[in-house]
Structure 1
């Protein structure tokens, strides 16, 4: 049962990455392991930053879709 659940999670993660939805859990785990003591963005901050990075609207003011 556990292997089926793991396979489902991996397929879901792959599908999200294919359509450009970043994985917050992977980001948070990386930050905690590789950068201890530094802040970790909240889920909302993470998605906002990734959306701005992908589609623009950040400091550079460029609006783009790709």
Structure 2
């Protein structure tokens, strides 16, 4: 019984590490995608972004 519990715990830990790795990768790629979209948007509509000064403070320079 202890061996079975330990095996399931190993499986759960393996899944958690896999999921956290995928989440970190998703956040990094998602952030890069947001930055790219922001750069395209700011190039297309610079006057619109001037009204959203908070966006300009948060967003990185392109």
Same fold (TM over 0.5): no
If the TM-score is normalised by the length of the shorter chain, which range does it land in?
Answer: 0.3 to 0.5
Structure with greater proportional helix content: 2
Q: Pick the structure with greater CA Rg.
A: 2
Higher relative contact order (CA 8 A, sep 6+): 2
TM-score, reference length from structure 1: 0.33
TM-score, reference length from structure 2: 0.35
